[in-house]
Chains A and B, each alone.
Chain A
Amino acid sequence: MDTMLLIILIIVAVLIVTIIAKYNRIIKLRNRVKSSESGIDVYLNQRFDLIPNLVECVKGYTKHEKELLENIVKQRTNYSQNRNLETATELNNCINRIIAVAENYPELKSSDQFLSLQNNLTKVESQLQAARRIYNADVQRYNTTIQTIPTNIVAGMFGFKEINYFQIEDYKRENIKIDGDNL
Chain B
Amino acid sequence: MKYESFTEFLGSLDAKNEQFNNKWEDLKYEKRKKALITAIIILIIDIIILNSVGAFSMFLMVLLFNANVFIFVISHLLIKHKDITQFNNDYKERIINELLKNFIEDVDYVPLKGLPKSIYDEAKYGGFYNKYYSDDYFEGKMNGKKIVMANLLVQKEEEIRDKDGNYETETTTVFNGIFGKINLEKTINCNLTIANDYRTSSFDKQKIDMDSFEFEKEFNVYTDNQITAMQLLTADIQSDILELYNEQKIRFHISITNNTMYVLFNTGRMFEVFSSRKNPNEVLEKFFEIMRFIYMLVDKIINTIDDTII
Q: A-side interface residues toward B, CB under 8 Å?
A: 39, 43, 119, 122-123, 126-127, 129-131, 133-134, 136-138, 140-141
Shortest distance between the CB of A175 and any CB in chain B (Å): 24
17 contacts between A and B (CB under 8 A): A119-B309, A122-B309, A123-B309, A126-B308, A127-B227, A129-B231, A130-B226, A130-B228, A130-B229, A131-B230, A133-B235, A134-B211, A134-B226, A134-B230, A136-B211, A138-B209, A140-B211
Report chain A residues within 8 Å CB of B308. 126
Report chain A residues within 8 Å CB of B211. 133-134, 136-137, 140
Shortest distance between the CB of A46 and any CB in chain B (Å): 11
Q: How far is the CA of A119 from the CA of B310 in the complex (A)?
A: 11
Report chain A residues within 8 Å CB of B96. none
Q: Which residue of A lies closest to B228 (CB)?
A: A130
Report chain A residues within 8 Å CB of B231. 126-127, 129-130
Q: How far is the CA of A123 from the CA of B227 in the complex (A)?
A: 12
Q: How far is the CA of A119 from the CA of B309 in the complex (A)?
A: 8
Report chain A residues within 8 Å CB of B309. 119, 122-123, 126
**Is B210 on the interface with A (CB-CB < 8 A)?**
yes
How many A-B pairs with Cβ below 8 Å?
Answer: 35
Q: What per-residue 1/0 map shows which CB atoms of B211-227 lie under 8 Å from chain A?
A: 10000000000000011
Shortest distance between the CB of A44 and any CB in chain B (Å): 13
Q: How far is the CA of A39 from the CA of B226 in the complex (A)?
A: 10
Report chain B residues within 8 Å CB of A119. 309
Shortest distance between the CB of A153 and any CB in chain B (Å): 25
Q: Which residue of A lies closest to B229 (CB)?
A: A130
Contact A130 B209, CB 8 Å, known A119-B309, A123-B309: no
Q: Which residue of B lies closest to A136 (CB)?
A: B211
Q: How far is the CA of A175 from the CA of B282 in the complex (A)?
A: 55
Q: Please give 20 more A-B residue pairs, beta carbons under 8 A apart, in addition to A123-B310, A127-B231, A136-B211.
A: A39-B227, A43-B227, A119-B309, A122-B309, A126-B231, A126-B308, A126-B309, A130-B226, A130-B227, A130-B228, A130-B229, A131-B227, A133-B211, A133-B230, A134-B226, A134-B230, A137-B209, A137-B210, A138-B209, A141-B209
Report chain B residues within 8 Å CB of A122. 309
Q: What per-residue 1/0 map shows which CB atoms of B228-270 lie under 8 Å from chain A?
A: 1111000100000000000000000000000000000000000
Report chain B residues within 8 Å CB of A138. 209
Q: Which residue of B lies closest to A39 (CB)?
A: B227
Report chain A residues within 8 Å CB of B310. 123
Report chain A residues within 8 Å CB of B228. 130
Report chain B residues within 8 Å CB of A136. 211
Report chain A residues within 8 Å CB of B226. 130, 134
Shortest distance between the CB of A166 and any CB in chain B (Å): 12
Report chain B residues within 8 Å CB of A134. 211, 226-227, 230
Shortest distance between the CB of A21 and any CB in chain B (Å): 20
Listed residue (A119, A134, A138, A140) with the most chain B CB atoms within 10 angstroms of its CB = A134
Q: How far is the CA of A131 from the CA of B230 in the complex (A)?
A: 8
Q: Which residue of A lies closest to B212 (CB)?
A: A137
Listed residue (A130, A136, A141) with the most chain B CB atoms within 10 angstroms of its CB = A130
